[in-house]
Amino acid sequence: MTVPLDDTVADGPTIDLSLVRYRALDQKRRIGSLLVNPGGPGASGVDYVLAVGQSLPDEIQQRFDIVGFDPRGVGESAPVDCIDDLDPLFDAEWAPDNARERRDLVAEISRLVDACERNNADILPFLQTERTARDLDLIRIALGDSKLTYLGFSYGTYLGAWYAEQFPGNVRALVLDGPLDPALDAATVQVQQAVGFEKLLDGFLEDCSHRLECAFHRDGKAAEAYDQLRARIGAVPLEVDGFGEPRMLNGTQFDLGVTSLLYDGRASWEELGQTLNAVDEGDGEDLLYSADLYTGRISAGSYDNSLEAFIAIGCVDGPPVGDVANMRSIERAAAEEAPRVGRPIVNGSLACALWPVAAQEPRALHGTGAAPILVLGARKDPATPFVWARGLASELESATLVPVRSSSHTSFDSGNVCVDEAVIRYLVDLEVPARGTRC
């Protein structure tokens, strides 16, 4: 469908949004549409619904048309397209420990930012989630729904909160799973996320040290072995076979591959142990594959646009990170709190220090007057720490928070019966869990 690029200007340029719909299986009892955003920013809602729409809980499939859409700048919706080959960016060291590595990283980031500005100047100023939320309301109207029923994961919670802020009277039901807190400043966001991943990695290494069954047990010294392995790969990248092209696993890809696996929490620990053991024995294929999934690498010289969209949307959404020197101070703070993963996590946002479009300042979103909103927060979520769920739930005036005893990023449709039943009752019957409910 077609929407205005800038809806504050009459008769201005337009862009096309890509959508997909699975129709409700029980049309006689159909409630309406359920719009879904899988996160990112940069993840394709179209791809998500095509992949999992027909495996969502049966009651959801029966009662709702399940609709995925690519937000502006993402996938097939006026996608941001900067550089085809991002390999040089990941060849740089994202946890630099000397001046040369730091210069190389800033140079690669600068090259990417320059290409984004050169090739996307017409759309970069119009990618704020505040605008995407207005697109979301236009989609609701086009679908013929009087009010919005919405399921947002991770970044999708930020989109849902912006919708409630701008269109509180149009809210039927919003599930916000794995929330961001829009009121936080950049240093707080970066350091708290780094600590979230670090704590989960520390938990894995401690558990692995105590379990002989863990493939990376290393005589009860998994943490020391991990640090030695990371240092070795950072100094001398590992040649990797099995991709049909010459590949090397370097320190940056090591960190990204581990981070990618940690999104699944404890459920990934067995795989993480096996993957680290393989790297230690000279086989980096699985870890490099995990890094490729994380960065959207398709083949040599080819990436999807998820990382470029992540940067372009995230940098204008804010919060402002300041200049490169200020990002360096945030990196130091993160490294002190999270010595293993703090630096690469912070430097994943380094482009925002050079971005050509100003970032929005942080602000709490209240959704005053909106119908009840359901917020799900996993207690040990590494990517969006539980404190963010508490923050968003306290800021949204009609929100109910359900804490989830889990270490995975997001909770719905991941095997937790308590969560799934609560979400289904809320979406179908508008039954809000009683305050104090925990899963």
C-alpha dist (Å) from residue 160 to 42, 154, 175, 370, 377: 15, 10, 8, 12, 15
d(CA 183, CA 402): 20
Please pick, among 154, 209, 406, 411, the residue that the annotation labels catalytic: 154
Please pick, among 47, 260, 280, 409, the residue that the annotation labels catalytic: 409
Instruction: Give per-residue burial for 48-77: e unless 16+ CB within 10 Å, then b.
Output: bbeeebeebeebbbebbbbbbbbbbbbbeb
- DSSP 8-class letter at 370: P
Q: Concatenate the DSSP letters of all residues of 319-353 into one string.
A: ----SHHHHHHHHHHHHHH-TTTHHHHHHTTGGGG
Please tell me whether residue 15 adopts helix, strand or coil conformation. Answer: strand
Is 409 catalytic? The answer is: yes
Cβ–Cβ under 8 Å, residues 171 and 147:
yes
* Residue 321, φ and ψ in degrees, nearest 5: -100, -5
Is 241 catalytic? The answer is: no
Is 268 catalytic? The answer is: no
H or E stretch at 376: strand 373-378
Q: Concatenate the DSSP letters of all residues of 220-257 into one string.
A: G-HHHHHHHHHHHHHHSPEEE-SSSS-EEE-HHHHHHH
Please pick, among 381, 398, 407, 408, the residue that the annotation labels catalytic: 381
Q: Which residues are catalytic?
A: 154, 381, 409
